[in-house]
């Protein structure tokens, strides 16, 4: 991080909206509300829309504070929003997480309309998962509804939510990664081209994606002349539009199946004997008793079996996995159980989320959101070191940057999983053995505990960063 | 249909919308406004109409309800 002047304390993503912006002071997050936004903010509060949304768990709560504003010439008020524990991005979400974020956006818009307000943007980045549920974090996104106006955020909703969800549902779940490339959602003409022909017979998708894309292209260079009263959109039509978007969104489905990881833990797959599995759980729990991690990252969490051990002790955990099906299953289970302390996310640790957007500062890389207090690297090391040729020392160095405490499982070459990985390739891993592992990691960590797993060649370690 | 200019109603004074909504996105909404509006009304009253037919009592139909 370079030195910053006071004007640089404005957060990297918070610059496009003249209504206000986020800034930090002494490590605390605040939002300045500009005078330009005054009447809308006052209406949000006085109409009780704010109270309704916060009570419904749809909007992040805030308090008004007596703080010197960051830019006094523009400022109306400063508020302190409740901080979100971990910032995640739509390209890290599974299908249902993105769908729930879309549904939340539309629910918020419907409630807002009852109070005479509309959302002026429908960006997926305005939603964060807070205590396991999607909430709107942009308090300044509301503006007073003027009957007759179409929804100004319609394009954004279609690009950020509908297009990726449709692509995941109809083509391939991995297409959500296009959101990494297109920071303002997937362009509709691209989505239209990629979606199969049968989506043209789906009323909602035909209208909101295909027809919408065609209209965008057709009128891209047309002059828009401001005149009064020619064409308007009544409130009923507005409600109808919301209804149409809602049913189109709700009807999209994705069933995770047939991917390699989903069956990993079932007894029949034979990867783990149940003795080994139970003992591993006991050992992780035992190591956990020595710690009080404020934030835990489970690397390669699969469906969150071990994340749940952490979470059940009351410690918030992010359950990362490369497989969208595993993350989806984990999320659906967490949602059903109303689990508020775990957040499943999609992450490829050989290519983790980079910094994106303007000045590479709008969306933080995974590293910028590190470190965690505790890392779980169970059944992880061989996927880095063997499957992806990452040298053990490089892995140690990376994990050292990611977290302070580390519970890591050493998976030796004799293990059936490693044998599988080596089955069709040359064994070039002469340094991949326990002594090599321990000496590489000793450069960055101190080994605190070491236990062999019963009925298994694997060994579990507890390490602390040096 | 060929438009050289698109006339839309916007208000210059109170626009807080900092996003570029796109002419196409505006136009689509106006195009479908009638359809989605009608669809919404039908949906809203379909439940009421269904409710009337499902009643097993011999009560007379409430005219006011139907006319709403």
pLDDT tens column, A271-311: 567 899 999 999 999 999 999 999 999 999 999 999 999 99
Q: Are B14 and A148 in contact (CB under 8 A)?
A: no
Q: Is the pLDDT of residue B60 over 70?
A: no
Q: Are A135 and B3 in contact (CB under 8 A)?
A: no
Residue closest to A63 by CA, chosen among A18, A101, A28, A106: A28
Instruction: Say what the pLDDT of residue B53 is.
Output: 76
Establish if B21 touches chain A: CB-CB under 8 angstroms: yes
Q: Are A465 and A454 in contact (CB under 8 A)?
A: no
Among A150, A187, A247, the strongest candidate for a mutation testing the B interface, having the largest count of B CBs within 10 A, is A150
- The residues, ordered by sequence, that sit 6+ positions from A463 with a Cβ below 8 Å of its Cβ are A405, A406, A407, A408, A441, A445, A446, A447, A448
Residue closest to A449 by CA, chosen among A284, A279, A314: A284
Distance CA A137, CA A101 (A): 12
Instruction: Say what the pLDDT of residue A389 is.
Output: 95
Q: Apex CA B35: angle with CA B29 and CA B39, to 5°? A: 120
Instruction: Say what the pLDDT of residue A338 is.
Output: 96
- The residues, ordered by sequence, that sit 6+ positions from A221 with a Cβ below 8 Å of its Cβ are none
Distance CA A247, CA A266 (A): 36
pLDDT < 70 regions, chain A: 1-9, 222-231, 257-272
**Between chains, do B25 and A218 touch, taking CB under 8 Å as contact?**
no
CA end-to-end distance (rounded Å), chain A:
22
Q: Is the pLDDT of residue B20 over 80?
A: no
Range B4-25 average pLDDT? 52
**Between chains, do B27 and A239 touch, taking CB under 8 Å as contact?**
no
Instruction: Say what the pLDDT of residue A6 is.
Output: 41
Tell me the per-residue pLDDT of B29-59, one tens digit each, with 9 for 90 and over. 998 998 999 999 988 888 787 777 776 544 5
Instruction: Say what the pLDDT of residue B56 is.
Output: 54
DSSP assignment, residue A132? T
Instruction: Say what the pLDDT of residue A9 is.
Output: 59
Contact residues on chain B for A229, CB-CB shorter than 8 A = 9
Instruction: Say what the pLDDT of residue B9 is.
Output: 39
Question: Which of B9, B16, B35 is closest, CB to CB, to A143?
Answer: B16
Establish if B8 touches chain A: CB-CB under 8 angstroms: yes
Q: Are B18 and A153 in contact (CB under 8 A)?
A: no
Q: Provide the token pair at A125.
A: 């980045």
- The residues, ordered by sequence, that sit 6+ positions from A397 with a Cβ below 8 Å of its Cβ are A443, A444
Instruction: Say what the pLDDT of residue A331 is.
Output: 97
Contact residues on chain B for A156, CB-CB shorter than 8 A = 19
Distance CA A377, CA A402 (A): 11
Q: Is the pLDDT of residue B4 over 50?
A: no
Question: Which of B6, B9, B25 is closest, CB to CB, to A232?
Answer: B9
Tell me the per-residue pLDDT of A225-250, one tens digit each, with 9 for 90 and over. 544 445 689 999 999 999 999 999 99
**Between chains, do A120 and B16 touch, taking CB under 8 Å as contact?**
yes
Task: Pick A303 or B5 by higher pLDDT.
Answer: A303
Residue A53 C-beta-side C-alpha neighbours within 13 Å: 34
Q: Is the pLDDT of residue B64 over 90?
A: no
Distance CA A295, CA A316 (A): 6
Instruction: Say what the pLDDT of residue A219 is.
Output: 83
Instruction: Say what the pLDDT of residue B21 is.
Output: 63
Looking at A29-138, list the stretches that DSSP marks H as alpha helix, in order from N- to C-terminal side: 38-46, 49-55, 95-114
Q: Provide the token pair at A7.
A: 């004007």
ipTM higher than threshold 0.85? no
Backbone phi, then psi, for A373, in 5-degree steps? -75, -40
Question: Which of B14, B28, B30 is closest, CB to CB, to A212?
Answer: B28
Q: Which 3 state secondary structure label does DSSP give A243? A: helix
Q: How far is A233 from chain B (nearest CA, A)?
A: 6
pTM as predicted: 0.90
């Amino acid at each position: 991080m370079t030195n910053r002047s006071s004007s640089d304390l404005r957060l990297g993503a918070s610059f496009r909206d003249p209504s206000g912006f986020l800034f930090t002071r002494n490590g605390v997050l605040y939002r300045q509300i500009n005078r330009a936004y005054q009447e809308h903010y006052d209406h949000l509060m006085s109409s009780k829309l704010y109270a309704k949304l916060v009570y419904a768990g749809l909007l992040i709560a805030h308090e008004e504070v007596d703080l010197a504003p960051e830019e006094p010439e523009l400022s109306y008020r400063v508020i302190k929003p409740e901080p979100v524990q971990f910032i995640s991005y739509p390209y890290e979400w599974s299908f249902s997480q993105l769908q729930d974020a879309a549904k939340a956006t539309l629910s918020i818009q419907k409630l807002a309309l009852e109070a005479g307000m509309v959302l002026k943007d429908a960006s997926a980045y305005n939603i964060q998962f807070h205590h396991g549920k999607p909430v709107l974090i942009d308090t300044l996104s509301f503006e007073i509804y003027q009957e007759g106006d179409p929804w100004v955020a319609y394009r954004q909703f279609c690009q950020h939510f509908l297009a990726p969800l449709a692509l995941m549902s109809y083509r391939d779940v991995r297409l959500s990664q296009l959101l990494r490339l297109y920071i303002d959602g997937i362009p509709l003409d691209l989505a239209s081209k990629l979606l199969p022909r049968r989506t043209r017979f789906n009323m909602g998708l035909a209208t909101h994606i295909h027809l919408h894309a065609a209209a965008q292209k057709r009128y891209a260079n047309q002059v828009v002349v401001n005149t009064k009263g020619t064409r308007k959109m009544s409130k009923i039509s507005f409600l109808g539009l919301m209804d149409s978007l809602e049913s189109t969104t709700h009807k999209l489905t994705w069933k995770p199946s047939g991917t390699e990881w989903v069956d990993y833990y079932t007894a029949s797959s034979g990867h783990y004997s149940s003795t080994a599995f139970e003992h591993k759980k006991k050992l992780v729990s035992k190591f956990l008793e020595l710690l009080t991690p404020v934030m835990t990252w489970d690397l390669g969490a699969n469906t969150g079996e071990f994340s749940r051990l952490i979470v059940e002790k009351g410690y918030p955990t992010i359950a990362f996995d490369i497989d969208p099906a595993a993350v989806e299953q984990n999320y659906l289970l967490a949602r059903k159980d109303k689990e508020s302390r775990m957040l499943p996310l999609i992450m490829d640790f050989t290519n983790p989320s980079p910094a994106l957007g303007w000045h590479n500062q709008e969306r933080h890389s995974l590293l910028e959101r590190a470190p965690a207090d505790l890392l779980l690297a169970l059944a992880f090391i061989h996927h880095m070191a063997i499957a992806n040729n990452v040298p053990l020392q490089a892995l140690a160095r990376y994990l050292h940057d990611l977290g302070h405490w580390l519970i890591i499982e050493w998976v030796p070459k004799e293990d059936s999983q490693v044998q599988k990985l080596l089955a069709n390739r040359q064994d070039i891993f002469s340094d991949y053995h326990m002594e090599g592992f321990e000496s590489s990691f000793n450069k960055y960590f101190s080994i605190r505990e070491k236990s062999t797993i019963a009925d298994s060649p694997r060994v579990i370690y507890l390490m602390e960063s040096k | 249909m060929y438009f050289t200019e698109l006339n839309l109603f916007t208000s210059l004074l109170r626009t807080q919308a900092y996003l570029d909504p796109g002419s196409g996105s505006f136009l689509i909404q106006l195009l479908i406004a009638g359809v989605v509006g009608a669809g919404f009304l039908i949906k809203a009253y379909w439940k009421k109409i269904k409710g009337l037919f499902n009643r097993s009592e011999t009560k007379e139909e409430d005219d006011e309800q139907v006319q709403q």
